[in-house]
Amino acid sequence: YGLVGSEMCIRDRSIRRSSMNSKVVITTDSPADLNAELETRYDIHVLPLYVNLGGKSYRDGIDITTPDIFRHYDETGELPTTSAIPIGDYEAFFKSFIDEGKKVVHFSLSSEISSTHQNARLAAEGMDGVYVIDSRHLSSGIALQVIRACEMRDEGMSAEDIAKVAVDLNKKTCTSFVLDKLEYMKKGGRCSTVAALGANLLSIRPCIEMKDGKLGVARKYRGKILDVKKKYIEDELSAHKDDADLSRIFLTSSSASDAEVKELTALIKSILPFKEVLIGCAGCTIASHCGPGCMGILFMTK
């Protein structure tokens, strides 16, 4: 299912490291929701956003995890707020690579939903060799673009050439997900109270998608959440049966069980023959808005 054994993982990393352009560094923000295995496999460097909860500030994925957020909400009814990465953090982050004689291609969370992109661009001003790309997506939609950039780096492309190609990767990226509950998105200010109440009363489970860098409702489903997830996968992949890039697809969720992941992965493979199904977990920044039970498939088109 895209997760390889330790022996293969070591062999794969040695191949990639021997072929990669060591003068180019690919970086991103924590809402890309990359797991440690993928960070290592592709040599990706991640800078965390901040999560504010219970009067304290935490680094996304380092000092606090998604289960911590859900547990705190169940006990107190309090949701965290998230803070964009400050300009100073970006400056120090980029400078650490520039000082080593390297160039940086950085992928940020969509500029339409966060100020991280603007802060990264401001930090990069005056730094020679730092290219900041607006992913126009979130979660594993960013990860797909980051991995593609890593592949270009490993083929020997320069940071400047990677950045030129990467600017348009967002147009080929498909990011969508279905929600089990709307209370997290409602409390996080992503939808109105009336809309959330109506959806909950009618057992409507919306499919949210990224379009032009923004979140919007694509379709609405009704029924048990597992049945909804299956129908959503069938609808999404059927719509792209002729233009999907079959290199890889992410199945990313905020709280799916191993059994559910296995069943949904098998469904994906039965519809389209993706070479790799990568399993993603929504980090704190994303999970604080989508809540438990959220699941999405994210892939690129040709």
* Secondary structure of 5-34 as H, E, C letters: CHHHHHHHHHHHHHHCCCCEEEEEEHHHCC
Distance CA(2)–CA(278), nearest Å, equals: 5
Q: Which residues pair with 253 in a beta bridge?
A: 281, 295
State the distance between the two ends of the chain, measured CA to CA, in whole angstroms.
Answer: 22
Q: Does the structure show a pLDDT above 80 at 185?
A: no
pLDDT of residue 5: 30
Q: At residue 211, what is the residue type?
A: K
> Do 88 and 121 meet the contact criterion of CB atoms below 8 Å apart?
no
Indicate whether this model's pTM tops 0.85. Answer: yes
- Is residue 56 classed as helix, strand or coil in its secondary structure? strand
DSSP string, 202-225: TTEEEEEEEETTEEEEEEEEES-H
pLDDT of residue 204: 85
Which residues lie closer than 8 Å to 17 by C-beta, 6 or more apart? 43
111-130 as b/e, with b when 16 or more CB fall inside 10 Å?
bbbbbbbebbbebbeebebb
Q: Does the structure show a pLDDT above 80 at 192?
A: no
pLDDT of residue 216: 87
Q: Does the structure show a pLDDT above 60 at 194?
A: no
pLDDT of residue 6: 29
Distance CA(266)–CA(116), nearest Å, equals: 36
192 burial via Cβ count (<10 Å: 0-12, 13-18, 19+): exposed
Distance CA(260)–CA(122), nearest Å, equals: 42
Q: Dump pLDDT digits (tens) for 149-179.
A: 999 999 999 999 999 999 999 999 999 999 9
Share of residues in the chain with pLDDT > 90 (%)? 77
Q: Does the structure show a pLDDT above 70 at 243?
A: yes
